[in-house]
């Protein structure tokens, strides 16, 4: 049976239960500063495979990673592309995902390898503390592929049920859309998805024009 734990009423127990479940290779639904996500520890064998199966998500769409500080992100990157430091300084923590070259030979499973990795530092104190307890987490929206992401844990449980070990209830989600995604892994940066942070804000931060994918 799943546990549904309130972050407002029993934060310490909720985070500890989530940590234990993730370290055991189970799935946890977590609040972020955008939409709710399904989290798995990518370094635990078989954990992320459960995400792909539950969401009915093709492995050709690798899972993004949430970090608790920029230093974690840089450690996962083969190189830091131009503009990355400026975007991180202005928009992290926040609703900006950066796609960057991945450090090779990491012993984890995010899906089919593409040579790049999608990284974000969420502006959410509970999520940041959980990542400090576990290390970087693979997190994608808490819904089955093709189904809109619900804004409450109760609605998400109706979709995902006991396939998720722990649901962290942080109230109604703050956004109805996911983060803005900027791909810096290619020669010319591109906006893959525009979310709460707009194209003009990205261009001002890096001092250059940027196209949409």
Extents of the domains making up the chain? 3-212
Domain range 3-212, its CATH number among 3.30.450.20, 3.40.50.720, 3.90.870.10, 3.30.360.10: 3.90.870.10
Q: What is the pLDDT of residue 190?
A: 94
Residue 63, both tokens: 């899972």
- Mean pLDDT value across the chain: 95
pLDDT digits (tens, 9 = 90+) for 144-191: 998 988 999 999 999 999 999 999 999 999 877 889 999 999 888 999
Look at 31-40, 91-100, 106-115, 173-182 and tell me which has the smallest mean pLDDT: 173-182
| Rounded Cα–Cα distance for residues 135 and 151 (Å) | 26
| Rounded Cα–Cα distance for residues 73 and 77 (Å) | 7
Residue 187, both tokens: 């020669």
Q: Which pTM does this prediction carry?
A: 0.95
Q: Report CA 21 to chain centroid distance, whole Å.
A: 17
Give the residue-averaged pLDDT of 73-101: 96
């Amino acid at each position: 049976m799943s546990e549904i734990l309130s972050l407002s009423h029993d934060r310490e127990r909720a985070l500890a239960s989530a940590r234990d479940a993730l370290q055991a290779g189970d799935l946890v639904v977590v609040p972020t500063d955008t939409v709710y996500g399904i989290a798995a520890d990518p370094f635990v064998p078989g954990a992320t495979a459960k995400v792909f199966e539950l969401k009915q998500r093709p492995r050709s769409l690798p899972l993004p990673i949430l970090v608790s500080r920029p230093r974690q992100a840089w450690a996962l990157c083969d190189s830091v592309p131009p503009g990355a430091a400026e975007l991180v300084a202005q928009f992290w923590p926040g609703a900006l995902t950066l796609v960057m070259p991945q450090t090779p030979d990491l012993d984890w499973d995010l899906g089919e390898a593409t040579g790049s990795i999608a990284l974000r530092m969420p502006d959410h104190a509970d999520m940041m503390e959980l990542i400090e307890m576990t290390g970087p987490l693979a997190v994608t929206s808490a819904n089955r592929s093709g189904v809109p992401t619900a804004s409450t844990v109760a609605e998400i449980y109706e979709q995902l049920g006991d396939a998720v070990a722990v649901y962290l209830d942080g109230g109604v989600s703050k956004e109805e859309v996911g983060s803005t995604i900027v791909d810096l892994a290619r020669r010319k940066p591109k906006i893959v998805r525009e979310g709460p942070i707009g194209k003009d804000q990205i261009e001002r931060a890096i001092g250059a024009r940027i196209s949409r994918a």
